[in-house]
Structure 1
């Protein structure tokens, strides 16, 4: 394929959330009517079209495709995280990489709020008594006046905090650079004493952080012992942020009131894993990220970055103004 035939935006074939990738390509076309947008729907098309493409978007970029991408300048990753990409090779080639940070804010924010309300009003107890056709009252909780700690104040963490505002809760944010502040009543770092103090005051602990050397195993046995027995863990980050064995022990010993887990370690969770058996554990199969608006929000980001790429004189200029 000649350079003249190269599309302005090349969309790779892998979709996400069970939604056809054609919808993503169409959403980009609607936002960039003056650009050519091509969808490589087969492996052969991907190999052929990526040879001359300068701006490519997709969920993944396999090494053999990158090897064929002689003219590639920008890879617009369609996920918020980029750790699965060959980042070293992309850097060596001078390829700018963008992500979809912020695309999950509304849906995961709603998922977290739903999980908090689920445990506040103890809907799982009500559902169990409904299944038994048992009309018997049970005690519930009230969210107002609670303390919610959000670990990670990126786009998702901020979306969670925004949705908590009307509920009259106190909020604590945990981030790498607490001096930057955030949308919470308090902002702390990952220092042991500050974090332990926050855990001791927390009613709902929301994990919305990336998996790093600092956060791997962050919520371990000592953390669970420090938390109040009436506290609830909500993990929409990554499974290994929580020590799974410690979580099972905490649930068995009533060190915490319950847990809402959208991610687990291991993942998928094996059928015989003890976490399945707890009535005070809500498990969703890494589903918080699903939304029918995903491709629309993603296309907004990618289209704007393509416009900025058009206006830049070099990849370095583009990197200085890239969204989000």
Structure 2
């Protein structure tokens, strides 16, 4: 019997061999098999207790007769056959939280870049220009974080010591949060928060509520010196409205790790705006990716034999 099967295919551009090695290191008494072909996937999952990977289709799932846990290697799980998992009593977990440290560090990098205008320094260095330019301080500003999950919490934690005021936006504001103030997603509360915001950080899942949240009206509500930082999903922002606001300089700038569309076409207007920083959905990339996920999965493998709740269970 194969205890754990790692499905083939890269995840976030990272080789699955490293993931399998991390699991073997943490679970030396279990057999961890890496499936490299469709045939190996069918063979290995047939008697596997745990299967992990980015996704699994219903045909392959049907082959997994002894499966107890599917450990999704993504934070998102809407693409999985959840109803089939439920019908068969198979637990499902995800990778929520493993990207939070690297994404939060990138957010801090974006905030400091715009507060100290480091991108302008880089531009002048490229042109060999020794001319002073106006910079600002992050201290004393208001940072609004939309989404207080693992990433939002990590961002706020890293802002401690910078002397900023923080506002959090979440679905259930009555739960509170690590920010100085927490509001819900109703239009009045959100726009009131946006009107007081110097740096708007988007760290929320893309849902019916958040799709197009930052539209032309929201952008008009932001102060002209404000900066938008998006590490959520491109669809949270109305891209055309953002381009218009940046061109008019009705906001100071934007730092985007995600865009809509994505990948961003070579001829898109965002590439040519000097008040925009763009990274290619890269904030979650870290050499610690597989180690953090393996910690979660290995812990859950041990919990399968106890009544302890599984970490990151989503079903």
TM over 0.5: yes
Structure 1 ranges of 4+ moved more than 6 A: none
> Cα offset for 1:32?
1.2
> Contact 2:58–2:81 at 8 Å: present in 1 too?
yes
8 Å CA contact retained: 1:148, 1:203 = yes
Q: Give the stretch that moved more between structures: 246-255 or 54-63.
A: 54-63
Q: Are 1:280 and 2:275 counterparts?
A: yes
Unaligned residue ranges in structure 1 (runs of 5+): 1-5, 313-317
Candidates 98, 104, 111, aligned match of 1:109: 104
Question: Deviation of residue 84 (structure 1)?
Answer: 2.2
Deviations 1:195-231 (A, max 9, x none): 1110000000000000100000000000000000100
CA positional deviation for 1:112: 0.4
In structure 2, what is the Cα distance between the partners aligned to 1:42 and 1:25? Answer: 15
Check if 1:79 corresponds to 2:67: no
Matched, 1:19 2:23: no
Q: In 2, Cα distance between the equivalents of 1:154 and 1:54?
A: 30
1:136 corresponds to: 131
User: Normalised by the size of structure 1, how large is the TM-score?
Assistant: 0.94
| Aligned-partner Cα distance in 1 for 2:306–2:6 | 21
1:65-88, Cα deviation, whole Å (9 max, x unpaired): 123223322110011111222223
1:65 to 60, 63, 66: 60
Q: Which moved more, 1:73-82 or 1:218-227?
A: 73-82
* Deviation of 1:21 (Å): 1.1
1:96 maps to which of 86, 91, 98: 91
The residue number in structure 1 matching 2:220 is 225
How far apart, CA to CA, are the structure 2 residues paired with 1:15 and 1:183?
35
Paired residue for 1:154?
149
Matched, 1:267 2:255: no
Deviates most, 12-21 or 221-230: 12-21
1:35 aligns with 2:30: yes
Look up the match of 2:298.
303
Point out where structure 2 has 5 or more consecutive residues left out of the alignment: none
Distance 1:89 1:255 in 2: 49
How many angstroms does 1:41 deviate by? 1.6
Please state whether the residue corresponding to 2:128 is helix, strand or coil: coil
Say yes or no: does 1:202 pair with 2:197.
yes
Matching residue of 1:54:
49
- Secondary structure of the 1:79 match is coil
How much does 1:127 deviate? Answer: 1.1
CA shift, 1:185, in A, is 0.3
Q: CA deviation at 1:115?
A: 0.5
SS at 2:295's partner residue?
helix
- The answer to whether structure 1 residue 216 and structure 2 residue 211 are counterparts is yes
Question: What is the RMSD computed on CA atoms of the aligned residues?
Answer: 1.2
**Is the 2:11–2:73 Cα contact (8 Å) retained in structure 1?**
no
